[in-house]
Amino acid sequence: MDNHYKPSSIRWTHEQIKWILRWSEIIQSGRWPSDYKESGYVGGNKSHNQRAPYETPIQIWAELTKRIERTNQDGYFLQAVYSNDNRIAEMERIAKAFHMDINEVSDRVERALRYCTGWCRRWMKCSSCRVKDCPSRGKKKAYEYGSWRY
């Protein structure tokens, strides 16, 4: 069973980010992996989101790309691993290519993934991120990837 998300339901959870990466080829090209036709979701049923922060595949992809870029090389690993159908094989390939233990690869991928989660961008203070309806309401501090602990 595969979860399915609409662009407007993306809230940057762990699971959603993995899902976006898995379908990255489609999303990057401005389409959405789904049964939702393009006209079906934009301006569709809005009962659960009055104002979705992201409405198109391009917006979602641009936001995720910005977040991933902040995680340096780990973000490259993250993208490679989760866009691959065989994640273990991809982690093994990276481990070999970069002379790392596979556990280190998987830790770095996980860390980058977590950095990318959350309503707002982690490297910005909430008070300046201007994300609509932020549940942290301006209280979140800013962390660059290098100094961030989870």
Looking at beta carbons only, is 24 or 127 nearer to Zn ion? 127
The residue nearest Zn ion at its CB is 134
Give start and end residues of each alpha helix (H) in the chain. Answer: 14-22, 24-28, 38-41, 57-69, 72-82, 87-97, 102-116, 126-129
Provide, rounded to whole angstroms, the least separation between the CB of residue 2 and Zn ion: 29
Q: Which two tokens stand for residue 143?
A: 């962390």
State whether the Cα torsion 23-136-54-129 is positive or negative. negative
Q: What is the closest distance, in whole angstroms, from the C-beta atom of residue 145 to Zn ion in the complex?
A: 18
Closest approach, Cβ 48 to Zn ion, in A, equals 20
In angstroms, the CA 10 to CA 148 distance is: 23
Give min distance, CB of 131 to Zn ion, in A: 5
Nearer to Zn ion, 17 or 120 (CB): 120
CA–CA gap between residue 58 and residue 23 (Å, rounded): 13
Instruction: Enumerate binding residues for Zn ion (CB under 5 A).
Output: 120, 126, 129, 131, 134, 136
Choice between 95 and 131, CB closer to Zn ion: 131
- Sign, CA dihedral 21-25-29-35, equals negative
- Nearer to Zn ion by Cβ, of 10 and 105: the residue is 10
